[in-house]
């Protein structure tokens, strides 16, 4: 049967592990990045993440993190996606979570009913734009980790191709096949995800824009708003 766990930590890394149960997690304060093998999920407040049973993953908190974790047994997990996801939380989903938090530990039957309704709600939920897919080719992984380690790098596509020993055409084609994004789209998304981490750690917007390699603060704000629907300054305030 499903169970509920409240967790609070200062943002310490969580090494790679897996659960026999499926895991739904909601970040109530701070930001959690989750490495899933196929990519990275970013978990700010106001979203709900999903990791299927048996799926290896690792986590890293950014800032002090408070979270609510719901573990689903394999039967309950069967109706959920077979791969990790991040979903938008509807007002009804938020109300269901509040209901679950307010139930006494002994109220097992109401808890299971609320969990079942929440799973039904997530079946119709919209996926949040908080997943950064990673390539699997070892040369493309070198490129991807190079961008993640230095998001402000000004290397051109031709320079990256030379660095990893691929032709520009081959790099472009295989990167799109493996990630579903062009390299330019992926690099912008990687920078925005890195920006979320820095913002969660209370870095100023101007410093974040420069650290990510954007040509100007306004360019960063524009890209951020296009992807996340709000400005960097308001992103976490809107989820308090």
- Residues 9, 116 within the same domain: yes
Q: pTM for the whole thing?
A: 0.81
Q: In this structure, are residues 194 and 145 in contact, taking their beta carbons and an 8 Å threshold?
A: no
Give the orientation angle of helix 157-164 with respect to helix 138-149, to 10 degrees: 130
**CA angle 16–236–41, rounded 5-degree value:** 25
- Residues 24, 110 within the same domain: yes
Output the pLDDT for position 110: 85
Q: Please indicate, yes or no, if residue 129 is contained in any of the structural domains.
A: no
Distances (CA, A) of 94 to 22, 134, 140, 154, 235: 20, 30, 39, 41, 18
Q: How many structural domains are present in the chain?
A: 2
Arithmetic mean of pLDDT, 177-192: 95
Q: Please indicate, yes or no, if residue 95 is contained in any of the structural domains.
A: yes
User: Last residue of a domain, which of 88, 123, 158?
Assistant: 123
User: Last residue of a domain, which of 63, 90, 123?
Assistant: 123
- Residues 208, 155 within the same domain: yes
- Residues 47, 79 within the same domain: yes
**CA angle 227–233–236, rounded 5-degree value:** 80
For residue 1, is pLDDT > 60? Answer: no
User: Last residue of a domain, which of 123, 155, 181?
Assistant: 123
Distances (CA, A) of 220 to 42, 67, 129: 18, 29, 17
- Residues 175, 111 within the same domain: no
- Residues 117, 144 within the same domain: no
Q: Using the Cα atoms of residue 187, residue 193, residue 196 and residue 201 in order, give the sign of their dihedral.
A: negative
Give the side-chain half-sphere CA count within 13 A for 4: 19
- Residues 118, 30 within the same domain: yes
Confidence band of 10 (pLDDT split at 50, 70, 90)? low
Q: Which domain holds residue 160?
A: 134-239
The CATH number given to whatever domain includes residue 100 is 2.60.120.280
Q: Which residues of 6-21 are buried (b: 16+ CB within 10 A; e: fewer)?
A: eeeeebeeeeeeebeb
At 28-43, the pLDDT tens digits run: 888 888 999 889 999 8
- Residues 147, 68 within the same domain: no
Average pLDDT score over the chain: 88
- Residues 144, 101 within the same domain: no
- Residues 168, 71 within the same domain: no
């Amino acid at each position: 049967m499903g169970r509920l766990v409240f967790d609070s930590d200062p943002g310490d890394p969580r090494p790679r592990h897996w659960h026999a149960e499926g895991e739904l997690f909601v970040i109530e304060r701070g930001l959690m990045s989750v490495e899933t093998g196929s990519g990275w999920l970013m978990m700010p407040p106001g979203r709900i993440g999903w990791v299927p049973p048996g799926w290896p993953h690792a986590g890293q908190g950014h800032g002090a993190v408070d979270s609510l974790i719901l573990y689903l047994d394999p039967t309950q997990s069967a109706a959920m996606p077979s791969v990790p996801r991040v979903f938008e939380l509807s007002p009804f989903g938020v109300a269901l979570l509040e209901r679950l938090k307010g139930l006494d530990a002994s109220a097992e039957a109401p808890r299971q009913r609320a969990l079942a309704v929440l799973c039904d709600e997530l079946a119709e939920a919209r996926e949040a734009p908080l997943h950064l897919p990673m390539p699997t080719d070892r040369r493309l992984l070198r490129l991807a980790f190079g961008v993640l380690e230095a998001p402000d790098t000004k290397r051109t596509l031709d320079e990256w191709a030379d660095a990893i020993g691929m032709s520009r055409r081959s790099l472009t084609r295989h990167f799109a096949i493996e990630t579903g994004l062009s390299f330019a789209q992926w690099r912008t998304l990687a920078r925005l995800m890195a920006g979320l981490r820095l913002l969660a750690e209370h870095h100023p917007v101007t410093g974040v824009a420069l650290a990510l390699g954007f040509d100007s603060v306004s360019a960063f704000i524009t890209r951020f708003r296009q992807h996340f629907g709000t400005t960097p300054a308001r992103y976490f305030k809107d989820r308090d």
